[in-house]
């Protein structure tokens, strides 16, 4: 594939969205500044003329409402470094629209394969650098404060990202490699979301390769249930760390220590009792800490629906749910099918993971809507009535002649007729 400026820009941006190289870290806001943040600030300037591609839809309505809510809430609750997240959400969405309009399906397929290659190179280099302490990289029982993960969100997000990336590669020869890496990484890192994401990815692949409409789907669900039940029975005899991660009793014990998801969700509920119209982007956890008197390690509540309700208010959450429904029920073709599956898997995992402001999510939301707009436009153009003979510059049809006649043949056959008409005249 010949590399032009658009393809090169798309490869660089997507590579940095998946392999997140940190530049600095703020302990106060519990946030990283990565290379992709710089790209999201600079690249939109290059594509300013592409602003005409933006359309009014649930995604743009959500982003605008969240921005306005945050601006209003900042006057009451203030704002910090994380309040700038809405800027990167908007930039990622815009660039997704740009590249979604400019790149054909074949280019996207190849770019996704290249991104997988970038991720594999990163993992191999990381494992070489930390060859003497791989236990700290993959085992949850050991500390890993200095380890560089593919995502600055840590090992859980790395496993989830690999599972999501495998979905983008459905239908390619690289898919088995991507799915295998995602499953093995999630299992070694004991990532619940990663394992669920990898299972969803494999399930979609099996369903698309079905003999009948439901054969592989039911087969996959049946095998998954057998493995789950067998694993639960076996775990009562032999300790299996992966299955322990799905034990809700562990989350309950963490809540008693004021850590973990249940503690976050409980404090978020207390904050919502005082304000249902949003505390502003980035203000959710700080306000939860003030109200509850607790201190959290996390900078989000690990449930993006609850996060958007807490920070954007009920008005933002309703628009986001409208966007979810729009993506779910909108038909898709080509690479848009994989992008749609990527988004739906993210939205499913988002009940227990993510902050909702991830740039890679909004980038593919923009790409989904861009490709949807293109598909609608092409369908409208194809449905318009055309004049007789329009679109056939090189061929024509004559009564009594089967098949198309090329323009050269038409002229050669029409020559005697033209001469005869001239003689009559």
Does the structure show a pLDDT above 50 at 409? no
Does the structure show a pLDDT above 60 at 388? no
Does the structure show a pLDDT above 50 at 356? yes
Report how far residue 357's alpha carbon sits from residue 351's, in angstroms, rounded to the nearest whole number.
Answer: 14
**What pLDDT shows up at residue 113?**
96
Q: Please, what is the end-to-end C-alpha distance for the chain in angstroms?
A: 59
Residue pLDDT, tens place only, 223-237: 766 666 666 566 555
**What pLDDT shows up at residue 384?**
64
Question: Average model confidence (pLDDT) for the chain?
Answer: 82
Residue pLDDT, tens place only, 172-216: 999 999 999 998 898 888 888 888 899 899 888 888 887 666 676
381-to-330, 332, 375, 386, 393 alpha-carbon distances in Å = 20, 18, 10, 10, 19
**What pLDDT shows up at residue 392?**
47
Q: 10 Å Cβ neighbour count for 170?
A: 20
Structure tokens at 72: 């209003």
Percent of the chain with pLDDT over 70: 75
Report how far residue 69's alpha carbon sits from residue 81's, in angstroms, rounded to the nearest whole number.
Answer: 17
Does the structure show a pLDDT above 90 at 272? yes
95 burial via Cβ count (<10 Å: 0-12, 13-18, 19+): buried
Report how far residue 123's alpha carbon sits from residue 178's, in angstroms, rounded to the nearest whole number.
Answer: 13
Half-sphere exposure of 17 (CA within 13 A, CB side): 27
Predicted confidence band of residue 422 (pLDDT cuts 50, 70, 90): very low
Structure tokens at 236: 């009562």
What is the H or E stretch that residue 405 is in?
strand 405-406
**What pLDDT shows up at residue 394?**
47
**What pLDDT shows up at residue 411?**
38
């Amino acid at each position: 594939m010949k590399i032009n400026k658009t393809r090169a820009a798309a490869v660089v941006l997507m590579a940095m969205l998946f392999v997140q190289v940190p530049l600095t870290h703020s302990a106060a806001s519990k946030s990283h500044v990565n290379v992709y943040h710089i790209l999201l600030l600079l690249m939109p300037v290059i594509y300013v003329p592409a602003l005409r591609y933006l359309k009014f839809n649930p995604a743009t309505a959500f982003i605008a409402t969240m921005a306005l809510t945050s601006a209003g809430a900042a006057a009451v609750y203030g704002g910090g470094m994380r309040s700038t997240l809405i800027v990167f959400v908007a930039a990622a969405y815009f660039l997704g629209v740009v590249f979604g309009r400019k790149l054909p399906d074949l280019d996207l397929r190849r770019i996704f394969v290249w991104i997988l290659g970038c991720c594999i190179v990163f993992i191999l280099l990381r494992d070489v650098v930390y060859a003497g302490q791989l236990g700290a990289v993959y085992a949850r029982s050991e500390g890993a404060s200095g380890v560089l993960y593919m995502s600055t969100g840590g090992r859980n997000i790395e496993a989830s990202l690999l599972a999501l990336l495998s979905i983008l590669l459905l239908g390619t020869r690289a898919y088995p490699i991507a799915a295998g890496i995602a499953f093995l990484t999630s299992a070694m890192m004991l990532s619940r979301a990663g394992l669920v994401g990898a299972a969803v990815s494999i399930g979609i692949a099996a369903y698309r390769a079905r003999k009948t409409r439901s054969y592989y789907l039911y087969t996959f669900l049946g095998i998954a249930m057998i493995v789950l039940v067998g694993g639960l029975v076996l775990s009562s005899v032999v300790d299996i760390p992966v299955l322990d991660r799905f034990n809700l009793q562990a989350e309950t014990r963490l809540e008693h220590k004021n850590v973990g998801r249940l503690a976050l969700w409980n404090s978020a509920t207390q904050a919502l009792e005082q304000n249902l119209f949003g505390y502003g982007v980035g203000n959710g956890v700080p306000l939860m800490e003030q109200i509850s008197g607790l201190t959290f390690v996390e900078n989000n509540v690990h449930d993006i629906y609850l996060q958007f309700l807490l920070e954007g208010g009920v008005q933002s959450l309703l628009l986001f749910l409208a966007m979810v429904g729009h993506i779910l029920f909108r038909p898709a073709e080509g690479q848009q099918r994989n992008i749609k599956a990527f988004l739906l898997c993210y939205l499913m995992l988002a009940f227990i993971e993510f902050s909702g402001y991830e740039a890679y999510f909004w980038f593919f939301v923009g790409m989904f809507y861009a490709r949807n707009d293109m598909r609608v436009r092409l369908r409208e153009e194809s449905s318009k009535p055309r004049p007789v003979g329009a679109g056939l510059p090189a061929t024509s049809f004559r009564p009594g002649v089967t098949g198309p006649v090329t323009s050269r043949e038409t002229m050669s056959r029409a020559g005697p007729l033209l001469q005869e008409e001239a003689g009559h005249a």
